Amino acid sequence: MIKLFDLTDGAMNPAGSPDAPVHLFVNPDAPERDLLRTRFGLDEHTLSSVLDPDEVPRIELAADHVLLIWKRPTSYSGKDTFYFDVASIGMLLLEQRLVVIVTDNLPLTSGARQTPTLHRPVDVMLGLLLNTIQHYLEHLKVIKMIARDLQQKINTSMENKHLIQMFNLSESLIYYLNAINSNGVVLTRLRTHAEKAGFSAADLAFLDDLVIENNQCYKQAEIYSTVLSGLMDARGSLVNNNMNQMLKNLTLINVVFLPLNLLAGIGGMSEFSMMTTGIDWRIAYLSFVVAMVVIGVITATILHRVQFGGGRPGAASRGGPRSAGRGK
């Protein structure tokens, strides 16, 4: 699909003329690839690189054009996988035209305050670079909020689901770090050769701001990645601790019912009736139930004291007034 845009009154508007200054190719098919090769001079290797999500960002500078292969974050779906991915975008800047090649539909402008007024194709390219960096920053904020939410769930959950989601976030941050760092290398080289490529002084200042913005984005992603990876082991230990606590509680419940099961198994129904011959069965069975309740309460009390250290040596020494009275 091809979208054409004109630059009028400092904004980008849809156009119908093939001579429009901005061309957007969305997942180009075979005829559109032929157009890119014949009209804009892109070879098949460059086209494949632009559409390859694993392609390393790079810049090609020539006398009549500038070609950028840039990494951008893909739209976040919000599903339970919590996986953030990156994709490639190609930008071919000619003297009076900008050609943008993407695999899916992409807005070329944003409402950011720093976006330059769109009078030239180079303004659209610089605005798109800024939009990509801010898109990374927005995703980093989302990752931070998701990580906090997952941490609260891990503190009380014993499932592996939340840990897997945390691993997905950690892996996404690794891809983001690699993409942002590679974009920074491209930006630095573009800034170095921008003056020779005909960029104005305002464009050079904007590129300096982009370099700073990208470096800050990289540092923020690096901090998030370090914190997230550093806490993965601790959060895994929390899950194991929760499981151990649950097993401990189940064991305590089982211990409480062990003597009751033993009494019920030894006595049985017929044997107990034989042993209580001559006693009203209502009184006999009520006494049996009361005795089992008393035994269960005594067992639970003993286990509770053992669990919380009620019978630890030295507890009496903290008794207070009684010990002091004996001392006198």
CATH number of the domain enclosing 209: 3.30.460.20
Question: Last residue of a domain, which of 191, 214, 242?
Answer: 242
Residue 319 lies in a domain: no
pLDDT of residue 177: 92
Question: Last residue of a domain, which of 200, 222, 242?
Answer: 242
pLDDT of residue 319: 47
- In terms of domains, do 34 and 60 share one? yes
- Closest among 55, 75, 77, 79 to 67, alpha carbons compared: 55
DSSP three-state, residue 130 = helix
Neighbours of 27 (CB within 10 A): 12
- In terms of domains, do 216 and 252 share one? no
- In terms of domains, do 200 and 250 share one? no
pLDDT of residue 287: 81
Note whether 87 and 71 are within 8 A (CB).
yes
pLDDT of residue 311: 44
pLDDT of residue 212: 93
Residue 325 lies in a domain: no
- State phi, psi for 73 to the nearest 5 degrees: -75, 140
Grade residue 85 by pLDDT with cuts at 50, 70 and 90. Answer: confident
Q: What is the arithmetic mean of pLDDT over 254-275? A: 69
- Per the rule left: phi > 0, alpha: psi between -120 and 50, beta: everything else, 41 is left
Question: Last residue of a domain, which of 211, 242, 273?
Answer: 242
Between residues 188 and 304, which one has the greater pLDDT?
188
pLDDT tens for each residue of 148-168: 888 777 766 656 677 778 888
Residue 103 lies in a domain: yes
Q: Determine which helix (DSSP H) or strand (DSSP E) holds 12, and give its type and residue range.
A: strand 11-14
Residue 20 lies in a domain: yes
- In terms of domains, do 286 and 146 share one? no
- In terms of domains, do 220 and 188 share one? yes
- In terms of domains, do 273 and 198 share one? no
Number of domains in the chain: 2
Lowest mean pLDDT among 64-68, 141-145, 198-202, 245-249: 245-249
pLDDT tens for each residue of 283-327: 877 887 888 888 888 888 887 777 666 544 444 444 444 444 444
- In terms of domains, do 224 and 300 share one? no
Residue 317 lies in a domain: no
- In terms of domains, do 219 and 256 share one? no
pLDDT(72) > 80: yes
Residue 318 lies in a domain: no
- In terms of domains, do 160 and 276 share one? no
pLDDT of residue 326: 45
Gyration radius from the chain CA atoms: 35
Residue 87 lies in a domain: yes
Structural domain boundaries, residue 291: 243-310
- In terms of domains, do 140 and 206 share one? yes
- In terms of domains, do 191 and 303 share one? no
pLDDT tens for each residue of 224-241: 888 887 776 666 666 677
- In terms of domains, do 152 and 268 share one? no
To 5 degrees, how large is the angle CA 165–CA 171–CA 172? 90
